[in-house]
């Protein structure tokens, strides 16, 4: 006589489990992905991002190319200078800053200005020299000669310093970016640039 009651409980439990499973499945579905303009500004954590890299490179290179060193060089030499972007050092307690992205943004701004020419970095030169050496051994047509590289006139170096002020879930992210352009032949520093970024981050769970 208890079987119908037991059966009813079993059916109720199964329905509840099925409903819970559907809810769990819906909550663990595929992620929602929205494509956005790569040039749009999106700040999630307040940390250094692609927008910072792009804006800093644009502003600092624009400032550098307006300074007297460039016109002085062109008047003296009768040509645009060759610039090699060197190392960018980062001092940070937690930000994951891609210096490669930043240096590439700087290279792009320099070259697209039309006012300077670029020379490859040491790492890139190593690959180029390896290719020239390979051509010397194996290529019979259009072989490139060794010791024909163009020397750089100026070296551009950079530093990114990060200072965080954190209290509870609120934080202030501060970045100070310094760049320095040096005449390679004389060792004279011809330009120093600085750009500061400050972000007030409320309800932050990141460090």
The whole-number pLDDT of residue 58 equals 97
Q: Is 147 helix (H, G, I), strand (E, B) or coil?
A: coil
The whole-number pLDDT of residue 23 equals 45
Distances (CA, A) of 146 to 129, 131, 136, 207: 8, 10, 8, 50
In a domain, 144, yes or no: no
Which residue ranges in the chain fall short of pLDDT 50? 1-2, 5, 22-26
Give the separation between CA 38 and CA 42, rounded to whole angstroms: 10
In a domain, 143, yes or no: no
The DSSP call for residue 186 is T
Give just the sign of the alpha carbon dihedral 44, 92, 195, 203. positive
Range of the domain at 55: 43-130+150-207
The whole-number pLDDT of residue 161 equals 96
In a domain, 98, yes or no: yes
Give the separation between CA 98 and CA 52, rounded to whole angstroms: 11
Q: pLDDT for 99-119, tens place per residue?
A: 999 999 999 999 999 999 998
In a domain, 3, yes or no: no
In a domain, 73, yes or no: yes
Domain tally, the chain: 1
Distances (CA, A) of 56 to 16, 106, 143: 56, 9, 40
Burial class (CB in 10 A: 0-12, 13-18, 19+), 52: buried
In a domain, 189, yes or no: yes
Contacts of 102 (CB under 8 A, 6+ apart): 53, 56, 57, 88, 158, 160
CATH of the domain at 163: 3.40.50.10610
Q: Identify whether the C-beta of residue 204 lies closer than 8 Å to the C-beta of residue 94.
A: no
Give the separation between CA 21 and CA 3, rounded to whole angstroms: 27
Q: How are beta strands 189-201 and 170-183 bridged, if at all?
A: antiparallel
Cβ neighbour number for residue 71 with a 10 Å cutoff: 12
The whole-number pLDDT of residue 108 equals 96
In a domain, 92, yes or no: yes
């Amino acid at each position: 006589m208890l079987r119908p009651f037991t059966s009813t409980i079993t059916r109720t439990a199964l329905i509840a489990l099925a409903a819970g499973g559907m809810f769990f499945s819906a909550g663990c579905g595929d992620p929602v992905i929205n494509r956005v303009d790569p040039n749009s500004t999106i700040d999630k954590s307040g940390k250094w991002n692609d927008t910072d890299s792009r804006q800093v490179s644009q502003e600092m290179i624009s400032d550098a190319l307006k300074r007297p060193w460039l016109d002085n060089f062109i008047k003296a030499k009768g040509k645009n200078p060759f610039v090699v972007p060197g190392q960018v050092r980062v001092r940070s307690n937690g930000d994951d800053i891609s210096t490669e992205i930043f240096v590439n943004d700087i290279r792009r701004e320099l070259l697209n200005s039309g006012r300077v020419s670029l020379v490859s970095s040491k790492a890139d030169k190593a690959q180029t020299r390896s290719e020239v050496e390979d051509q010397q051994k194996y290529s019979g047509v259009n072989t490139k000669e060794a010791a024909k590289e163009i020397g750089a006139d100026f070296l551009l170096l950079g530093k990114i310093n990060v200072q965080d002020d954190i209290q509870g879930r609120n934080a202030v992210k501060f970045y100070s970016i310094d760049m320095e352009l040096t005449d390679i032949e004389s060792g004279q520093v011809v330009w120093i640039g600085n750009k500061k970024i400050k972000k007030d981050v409320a309800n932050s769970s990141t460090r």
